[in-house]
Amino acid sequence: MDNEIQLISDGDGLVVVGDAEDVERFLASEGLPSKDLGMPRLKSIVATGAVAAQAGSEIAANSGRWVKLTKESAEVVKKYGLRESSKSGLSTGVVNGNKGQIKGFVEFVKTPRSLVTNPAVLAGAAGIMAQIAMQQTMNEITDYLATIDEKVDDVLRAQKDAVLARMIGVGFVIEESMTIREKRGRVDEVTWSKVQTAPATIAETQAYALRQLDALAEKMERKTKIGDLAAAAKEAESTVREWLAVLARCFQLQDAIAVLELDRVLDASPDELDGHRLGLKAARQRRLELISECTERLVARMDAAAGTANAKVLLHPASSPAVVQASNHVATGVHDFHELLGIESAERSSEARRWADAAVEVRDKALETGAKGVDAARSRGSETLTRANTVRVKLSDEIAERARRLRGDEKKHPEDA
């Protein structure tokens, strides 16, 4: 068929396979940015087995591009009604259109196709897709650490904890192994032996960072006085970002280990690649859940503190807005961190951006109301004082007048005196 395009999705990304021009035209028609899948590497993955020759020729004749699964690309998967396999977790399908038509890929083809129905090809493609997705996240984490104006190495070196110091060393080893992998195109036993113990150290550091965030949340919960809340919120505002940077670095290194691990399994036990990929995906999801639970607890505590401060803004016009402002900064930082890792934040995280403005508005209104009350009291006091003065003057005048009348009477009738 003309313009046949084969689609594979693993829930994190979408692979588009077909003639190079057709693939580019399809991606352009859908408005999807992409990166090269690496078809030669896929060919080497299925270089053994009874279907190797047929699959190899199919792979060689096609081009493959990987698309990160976003809201837009997910709509493409939905649009073309890909069929999901419960065993592999992959969704596959084929579409086609008339030659040269930019938006001609509209017909879903139900007939079997060699690549999307070949288990070895699908396992290999899924493994590469997982690696590309994790490397994409690793690059985004590097950019994230730069945007928060904190180099993670500087943050880590500033800590005296042995746990963090060990992770710095592990990071150097992992980066070295990734460099060797890039140069050699595989992970042999020697390279893998260098990083085998790294996951335990990274997990220990992640647990340590999560405990620090939990400690901040508990500290906020224990404070009831606005002054104490303001101090605790200020501390959280300055330190949460550092612990998020540590968590980001942990996640980055864990993804790097997974990339190396998939290559190692491919090199040593290719038949186990698909099962291992699914295991890594489940473990990664569990890490995301732990991070989400911890950071959401912190945001909830900060929101509660902001609510308390907001209710007492009239009594504490300086401290209360400071608590709300700190809460806003922490919630915004957590929300951005969640977006980086693909965690769906609670609604309050996005709404928290407006907390500071709301607090200032409430404070200003409260102060304005208070000022009006004072002015009214002053006005009423002035009116009362004026009336009192008027009465006093009138009484004084009446007393003086009566005194003058009495003196006049005494002068007219001195004999009565």
What pLDDT digit, counting tens, does each position of 313-323 carry?
656 677 778 88
Q: Can you list the alpha helix ranges (DSSP code H) found in 61-97? A: 71-79
Give the DSSP H/E element, type plus range, for residue 13: strand 13-18
All residues at 6 or more sequence positions from 2 whose CB lies less than 8 Å from its CB, including other chains: 96, 97, 98, 99
Domain co-membership, 406 together with 327 = no
Looking at residues 258-266, what average pLDDT do you find?
A: 94
Residues 208-228 have pLDDT tens digits of: 999 999 999 998 888 878 888
All residues at 6 or more sequence positions from 96 whose CB lies less than 8 Å from its CB, including other chains: 1, 2, 3, 4, 5, 105, 107, 109
The C-alpha atoms of residue 304 and residue 310 are separated, in whole angstroms, by: 10
How many CA atoms within 13 Å lie on the side-chain side of 243?
Answer: 25
The C-alpha atoms of residue 40 and residue 44 are separated, in whole angstroms, by: 6
Any domain includes 76: yes
Residue 398 belongs to domain spanning? 366-416
Domain co-membership, 219 together with 273 = yes
343: number of Cβ within 10 Å: 17
All residues at 6 or more sequence positions from 266 whose CB lies less than 8 Å from its CB, including other chains: 45, 124, 127, 186, 273
Any domain includes 401: yes
Domain co-membership, 259 together with 351 = yes
Looking at residues 100-121, what average pLDDT do you find?
A: 58
Give Cα 278 to chain centroid, integer Å.
24
Of 361, 379, 407, which residue constitutes the final position of a domain? 361
pLDDT at 375: 46
Domain co-membership, 42 together with 75 = yes
Highest mean pLDDT among 13-22, 286-295, 392-401: 286-295
Domain co-membership, 319 together with 384 = no
194 vs 106 pLDDT, higher one: 194
The C-alpha atoms of residue 70 and residue 68 are separated, in whole angstroms, by: 6
Any domain includes 134: no
The dihedral sign for the CA sequence 369, 370, 376, 379 = negative
Domain co-membership, 260 together with 320 = yes
Give Cα 403 to chain centroid, integer Å.
89
The angle formed by the CA atoms of residues 394, 400 and 406, to the nearest 5 degrees, is 135
Domain co-membership, 199 together with 259 = yes
Any domain includes 128: no
Domain co-membership, 355 together with 405 = no
Looking at residues 34-61, what average pLDDT do you find?
A: 72
Any domain includes 130: no
Any domain includes 138: no
Q: Worst-scoring range by mean pLDDT, 6-20, 78-92, 156-170, 339-353?
A: 339-353
Give the total number of structural domains in the chain. 3
Domain co-membership, 293 together with 207 = yes
Domain co-membership, 176 together with 312 = yes
The C-alpha atoms of residue 332 and residue 338 are separated, in whole angstroms, by: 10
Domain co-membership, 309 together with 191 = yes
Asked if 20 and 39 count as a contact pair (C-beta separation under 8 A), the reply is no
Identity of the residue numbered 58: E
Which candidate, 103, 150, 141, 90, places its Cα nearest to that of 5? 103
Identity of the residue numbered 322: A
> Which tokens belong to 225?
């006085």
Report pTM. 0.76
- Tell me the pLDDT of the chain averaged across its residues: 78
Looking at residues 379-399, what average pLDDT do you find?
A: 48
Any domain includes 312: yes
Domain co-membership, 402 together with 348 = no
pLDDT at 407: 54
Any domain includes 280: yes
Asked if 205 and 165 count as a contact pair (C-beta separation under 8 A), the reply is no
